[in-house]
């Protein structure tokens, strides 16, 4: 599915090249935007190289407002360049001066203000911008930023042997905070005027001027995928604002039922109140239990805690367990629902990309054992899945990338056209456009079709484990330490291993394996074991970890291998010596 360009409708006349007409005649909202702003400024935030100054100058000219560059003001006040300030006075003193300069500029009245990459990270500055301005995040992908910052040497934070690694780290740290900006605009390699046009439309919509229209694509539309399981069939609803609609949808699913919400500490602070409000408005009684975030919660003690909390809340068999969180919460809550009162219905509200496209669909629930991942559990299908795409904007970039590995997996299993589509459209998936909804819909539809054919993994549902025999072994070796390796990162490395192993066995072309590795690397995912922090495992350690995998049958290793991209198959009885030889060869590679 490709996104088509559409007319900008109400504001179609104000774009460049429309002829010499008055603002009012052209439908130019510049004057209306200035009026709506009042004394507030437009504040551009984002990483170095995002284009804040170049876009800001043109935006100011279009709006008839003064332009200020915070870094330029700092240099003027200090009488030295930013690199000189960092070198002579240190970053801490620079940040203090930056905070004072931005406060002064915001007090000076309406303008377009471009800030430095770290300015918005300061909570006090962020709060001041929220009161005195409209923040706009110019969001750019890593490859775009690297092309731009390489052209200049005045970036003190990048003056080190690994500027790309530093930039990745800064993006991981800063993007969740930038996401708090009032407006997000994707900064990419198009003309500055095109970015300004999009910004004008978003500003007009944000300020309530006319109808907000996206100039690049139709507005997102909620999508529905059905999992066909006879009397136990259920829907996966994909789209924005679904947490706010959850009460209405759950009330229709189970009239009169109460809800026990299971969530984790991180998600609770962001989304729990909104969900409880939605359920309350629908007249639904609620209780909640909050567990620690992370894989460690998929344990016997946490399972007991959740079960006892559901019972203590006086939930009956006809009531619902609602899983609000990522894959860990979904697996834990689903397993509790499977056993409390000998089986309760449950609803999945996945808040990570990985959970939306994978773990929330299909009914696999469970916890971990000391012997391996997901070894204790049950098949228990949800009654409804609500994949709210808005919540994905709150994810750390690392978490979103991890989920993207599972999206790629569906293309590699049986849909070469989808993989090619991802190669061409991954930026839209990451930036949150209609491409994101389409990627989630396609992934869910692929999994739903497999689950409908083989609910309990007795046949081709095992194909969904492409890359996972390797991935689960890597996770077990690092002790499920998410600071070193999260599941999606393990899957990314595992996918590359599966294709390279297929090449070694003479099943697949080498260029297909390298194409897989290149695409995963291009979005910032690891593609080789050596990229796991502190990795020192041997081939024997990996084989021992694989021996505990659920796909082992009578001691024989089963792998999902590939003949080509989109042509994966189940390979039972893989010889251990072949796996060992591949691992020895891959250790020697030392890179993705």
Sole residue written with tokens 């095109």: 194
Torsion sign (Cα): 298, 303, 309, 310? positive
488, 354 contact by CB (below 8 A): yes
Angle between helices 434-453 and 416-431 (to 10 degrees): 140
Catalytic residue, chosen from 198, 406, 455, 475, is 406
Catalytic residue, chosen from 198, 202, 438, 457, is 457
Catalytic residue, chosen from 62, 373, 472, 551, is 472
342 is catalytic: yes
Distances (CA, A) of 44 to 56, 59, 123, 226, 562: 7, 10, 16, 42, 46
| Residue 419: half-sphere exposure toward Cβ, Cα within 13 Å | 23
468 is catalytic: yes
154 is catalytic: no
465 is catalytic: yes
What is the per-residue burial (b if ≥16 Cβ within 10 Å, else e) of 153-167?
eebbbbeeeeeeeeb
504 is catalytic: no
Catalytic residue, chosen from 342, 458, 536, 554, is 342
Distance between CA atoms of residues 24 and 215, nearest Å: 20
How many CB atoms are closer than 10 A to CB 292?
12
Rounded to 10 degrees, the C-alpha dihedral 351/352/354/359 comes to: -30
Phi (first) and psi of residue 485, to 5 degrees: -155, 120
Q: Which two tokens stand for residue 417?
A: 């056209």
Catalytic residue, chosen from 58, 155, 461, 519, is 461
**498, 322, 395, 398: which is closest to 142 by C-alpha?**
398
List 378's β-bridge partners, or say none: 365
With 0-12 CB in 10 A as exposed, 13-18 as middle and 19+ as buried, what is 507?
middle
* Side-by-side strand order, sheet with 67-69: 67-69, 112-114, 41-45, 133-139, 183-186
Catalytic residue, chosen from 401, 426, 487, 551, is 487
93 is catalytic: no
423 is catalytic: no
Catalytic residue, chosen from 345, 380, 426, 447, is 447
Catalytic residue, chosen from 468, 500, 519, 528, is 468
289, 352 contact by CB (below 8 A): no
What residues contact residue 131 under an 8 Å CB cut-off, 6+ apart?
A: none
With 0-12 CB in 10 A as exposed, 13-18 as middle and 19+ as buried, what is 258?
middle
How many residues can be counted in the chain? 592
* Angle, alpha carbons 375-379-381 (nearest 5°): 140
271 is catalytic: no
Catalytic residue, chosen from 155, 465, 528, 551, is 465
364 is catalytic: yes
192 is catalytic: no
**433, 457, 450: which is closest to 139 by C-alpha?**
433
Distances (CA, A) of 402 to 34, 409, 507: 41, 12, 27
Mind telling me the catalytic residues? Answer: 342, 364, 406, 447, 457, 461, 465, 468, 472, 487
């Amino acid at each position: 599915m490709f996104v088509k360009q559409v007319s900008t409708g109400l504001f179609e006349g104000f774009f460049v090249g429309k002829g010499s007409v008055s603002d009012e005649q052209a439908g130019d909202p510049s004057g209306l935007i200035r009026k709506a702003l009042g004394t507030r400024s437009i504040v551009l935030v984002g990483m170095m190289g995002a284009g804040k100054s170049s876009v800001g100058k043109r935006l100011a000219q279009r709006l008839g407002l003064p332009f200020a560059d915070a870094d330029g003001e700092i240099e003027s006040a200090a009488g030295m360049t930013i690199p000189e300030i960092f070198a002579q006075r240190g970053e801490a003193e620079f940040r203090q001066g930056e905070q004072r300069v931005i406060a002064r500029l915001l007090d000076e009245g309406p303008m377009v203000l471009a800030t430095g990459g770290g300015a918005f990270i300061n909570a006090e500055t962020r709060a001041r911008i929220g009161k005195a301005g409209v923040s706009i995040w110019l969001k750019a992908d890593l490859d775009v930023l690297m092309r731009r910052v390489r052209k200049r040497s005045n970036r003190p934070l990048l003056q080190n042997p690994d500027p790309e690694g530093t930039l990745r780290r800064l993006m991981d740290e800063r993007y969740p905070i930038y996401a708090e900006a009032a407006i997000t605009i994707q900064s990419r390699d198009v003309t500055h005027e095109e970015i300004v046009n999009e910004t004008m439309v978003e500003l007009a919509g944000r300020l309530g001027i006319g109808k907000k229209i996206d100039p690049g694509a139709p507005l997102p539309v909620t999508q529905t995928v059905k999992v066909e399981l006879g009397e136990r069939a259920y829907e996966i609803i994909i789209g924005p604002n679904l947490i706010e609609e959850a009460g209405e949808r759950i009330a229709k699913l189970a009239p009169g039922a109460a809800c026990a919400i299971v969530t984790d500490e991180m998600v609770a602070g962001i989304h729990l109140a909104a969900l409880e409000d939605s359920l309350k408005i629908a007249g639904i009684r609620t209780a909640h239990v909050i567990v620690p975030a992370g894989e460690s919660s998929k344990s016997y003690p946490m399972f007991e805690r959740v079960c006892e909390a559901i019972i203590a809340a006086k939930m009956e068999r006809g009531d619902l367990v609602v899983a609000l969180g990522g894959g860990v919460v979904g697996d834990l809550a689903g397993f509790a629902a499977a056993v409390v009162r000998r089986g309760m219905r449950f609803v999945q509200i996945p808040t990570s990309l990985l959970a939306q496209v994978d773990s929330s669909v299909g009914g696999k629930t469970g916890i971990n054992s000391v012997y391996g991942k997901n070894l204790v559990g049950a098949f228990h299908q949800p009654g409804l899945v609500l994949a709210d795409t808005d919540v994905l904007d709150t994810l750390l970039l690392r978490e979103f990338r991890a989920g993207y590995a599972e999206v790629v997996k569906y293309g590699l299993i049986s849909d070469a056209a989808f993989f090619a589509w991802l190669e061409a459209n991954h930026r839209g998936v990451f930036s949150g456009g209609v491409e994101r909804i389409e990627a989630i819909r396609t992934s869910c539809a692929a999994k739903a079709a497999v689950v409908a054919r083989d609910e309990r993994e007795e046949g081709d549902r095992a194909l969904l484990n492409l890359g996972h025999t390797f991935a689960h072994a890597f996770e077990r070796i690092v002790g499920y330490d998410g600071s070193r390796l999260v599941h999606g990162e393990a899957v990314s490395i595992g996918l590359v291993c599966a294709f390279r192993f297929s090449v070694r066995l003479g099943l697949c072309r080498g260029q297909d394996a390298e194409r897989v590795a290149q695409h995963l690397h291009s979005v910032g995912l690891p593609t080789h074991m050596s990229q796991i922090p502190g990795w020192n495992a041997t081939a024997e350690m990996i084989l021992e970890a694989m021996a505990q995998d659920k796909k082992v049958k009578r001691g024989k290793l089963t792998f999902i291998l590939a003949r080509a991209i989109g042509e994966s198959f189940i390979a039972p009885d893989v010889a251990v010596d072949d796996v060992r030889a591949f691992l020895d060869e891959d250790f020697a590679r030392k890179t993705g």
